[in-house]
Structure 1
Amino acid sequence: MAERAGYRSQRVLITGGASGIGAAIARRFGQEGARVAVLDRDRDALGRFANDATEGVLPLLADVAEEDSLREAFTRMDAVWGGLDVVCNNAGISIRRAFLETSLAEWEQTLRVNLTGAFLVAREAGRRMKSDGGVIINTASVSGMVGMPDYAAYNVSKAGLIELTRTLALELAPRVRVNAICPGYVLTPMQRAEYTEEQLAEQAGTLPLGRLGTPEEIAALVAYLASPDAAFITGQTLVIDGGETAGGLASAARRPDGPGERRPTTSDPRRGGGA
């Protein structure tokens, strides 16, 4: 892919960027000619990504939920780049558990990573961008827009991230644009390892487009939002879900030709790969 002028000078940070959707975002920005920093708490995954990357990347070993660790990563990035243009808040976890069985520790851990971690990253980035400008893109989920059983903590964390996006868009304007994306079911390598082809096909059959999304499709939306083409977009939540929420519900079980009931699986395809 040829470099595009709008990306060549961009310094981009992707959290949870060593695998899944995050890795696809990192690769896309690298293909566009940007300088890419990948932040992840998984040392092995981070090493593999850095070794496999066709373009040089800046690996940052840190946990978004740990303020000191995160601050050190930003300090290192400052020393190498002297600034930051784009942040993709992609790090996230999910614990599938019925609400009445969810422990306080599970609840707090999920919100700590998905929401507090995004807050900490955005705060560090915003302080650096307030003078020169920049873009913050938060990876939320359609689960933050509608109810989804067995994912109370995850749903709430993503709903909170959407509201954080709106608030930051107001406070950081006009120099910094802030938007959120809401992926639906996305097929990551993790999901191929956890699900049979039959299970994946069944889930795809509930979507109007009849298939699951790909990490590369999510990355394309992120790249657009970071580009000059999206210069008039801020404070928005962009859904990319194959039509899942078109009817206002997070299931296509109401389709005339669809299944009568959405059968739960051991986990959820949208929740693999860092977000």
Structure 2
Amino acid sequence: MDVSNPEDVRNAFIQSDELLGGIDILISNAGISIRKRFLDIKYEQWSKVMRINLDSMFLCCQEAIRRMKKQNKGVILLTGSTNGLYGHPLYTDYNSSKAGVIILAKTLALEFAPWLRVNAVCPGYVLTPLQKAEYTSEMLEELNDEIPLNRHASPEEVAGLFAFLASSQASFI
């Protein structure tokens, strides 16, 4: 499935309707990154990052909200990034896309409250396959020196946060 293709996203939600009878929670987590200097980014690369990191979330949110509106409740969790808050050299495309995700979440939360809860989760460095592919061990250690805990988060730690935010215990967040 291509999460940046409107037809693929629509079909996935139709299948979800058929298999699960609807949707209560959407977690949108697609993301890619291309490490390049700003002037070296080709428009095609910029567009690909935007399509996967931001457009896919727009498409999934539209499909989910249409369904959640019928039941007058729902939770949407979007994966942003601290890069979307603070930026980082060599990631203009990624930083920009994640800033877009953050403002998308804020706008949806305002537009559809009180029956829809929307949050952007902005983890810092998480040791994912994407991170391992982009960074050498030495680069990862350098980054760890900038992190107060002196390590990257694990995917499981971030998953725990998503599970909490999706639960009724986070109904006021």
**Equivalent residue number for residue 128 of structure 1:** 67
**Equivalent residue number for residue 121 of structure 2:** 181
**Cα 1:66–1:142, aligned 2, differ >3 Å: closer, same or farther?**
same
Kindly report the root-mean-square deviation, in angstroms, between the aligned alpha carbons of the 2 structures. 1.5
* Aligned-partner Cα distance in 1 for 2:52–2:83: 16
Alpha-carbon offset, residue 200 of structure 1: 2.7
Greater Cα radius of gyration, structure 1 or 2: 1
**Equivalent residue number for residue 167 of structure 2:** 227
Of the structure 1 ranges 190-199 and 216-225, higher mean CA displacement relative to structure 2 is found in 190-199
Percent of aligned pairs with the same amino acid: 52
Count of aligned pairs: 172
**Equivalent residue number for residue 77 of structure 1:** 16
**Cα 1:99–1:195, aligned 2, differ >3 Å: closer, same or farther?**
closer
| Structure 1: stretches of 5+ with no match in the other structure | 1-61, 234-275
**Equivalent residue number for residue 155 of structure 1:** 95
TM-score, length basis structure 2: 0.93
**Equivalent residue number for residue 50 of structure 2:** 111
* Aligned-partner Cα distance in 1 for 2:3–2:133: 26
**Cα 1:229–1:170, aligned 2, differ >3 Å: closer, same or farther?**
same
> Residue type of the partner of 2:50?
L
**Cα 1:142–1:191, aligned 2, differ >3 Å: closer, same or farther?**
closer
**Equivalent residue number for residue 96 of structure 1:** 35
**For 1:96, what is the secondary structure of its paired residue?**
coil
TM-score, length basis structure 1: 0.60
**Equivalent residue number for residue 143 of structure 1:** 83
**Cα 1:216–1:228, aligned 2, differ >3 Å: closer, same or farther?**
same
> Residue type of the partner of 2:163?
A
Alpha-carbon offset, residue 189 of structure 1: 4.1
**For 1:69, what is the secondary structure of its paired residue?**
helix
1:5-16 to 2 correspondences below 5 Å: none
The answer to whether the Cα contact below 8 Å between 1:131 and 1:175 also exists between their aligned partners in 2 is no
* Aligned-partner Cα distance in 2 for 1:195–1:102: 19
User: 4+ residue stretches of structure 1 with deviation over 6 A?
Assistant: none
The answer to whether the Cα contact below 8 Å between 1:93 and 1:110 also exists between their aligned partners in 2 is yes
